[in-house]
């Protein structure tokens, strides 16, 4: 089903051209939105895997994973 949408680590040329038309502030807002979305996915995953963890532990582990995501 998803074979028609190949996954790649390379940026899509169409998206590159769209981002180039954005102001620096708009690109920063888009970046923050993507970061926030990724953080919410990490947090939701942790909440699902560890329903017994207190909120503070979930927040700390989420922050740790987001900080180390680029490594």
Residue spans of the domains in the chain: they are 39-71
Rounded to the nearest 10°, the torsion over CA 30, 34, 36, 37 is 140
Q: What is the pLDDT of residue 60?
A: 96
Query: 24-58 burial, b for 16+ CB within 10 Å, e for fewer?
Result: eeeeeeeeeeeeeeeeeebbeebeeeeeeeeeeeb
Residue 51: predicted pLDDT: 97
Spatial distance between the Cα atoms of 66 and 47, rounded to a whole number of angstroms: 15
pLDDT in tens, 14-60: 989 999 999 999 999 999 999 999 999 999 999 999 999 999 999 99
């Amino acid at each position: 089903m998803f074979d028609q949408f190949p996954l790649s680590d390379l940026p899509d040329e169409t998206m590159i051209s769209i981002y180039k038309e954005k102001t620096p502030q708009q690109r920063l807002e888009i970046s923050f939105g993507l970061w926030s979305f990724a953080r919410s996915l990490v947090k939701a995953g942790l909440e699902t895997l560890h329903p017994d963890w207190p909120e503070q532990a979930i927040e700390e582990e989420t922050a740790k994973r987001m900080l180390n995501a680029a490594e």
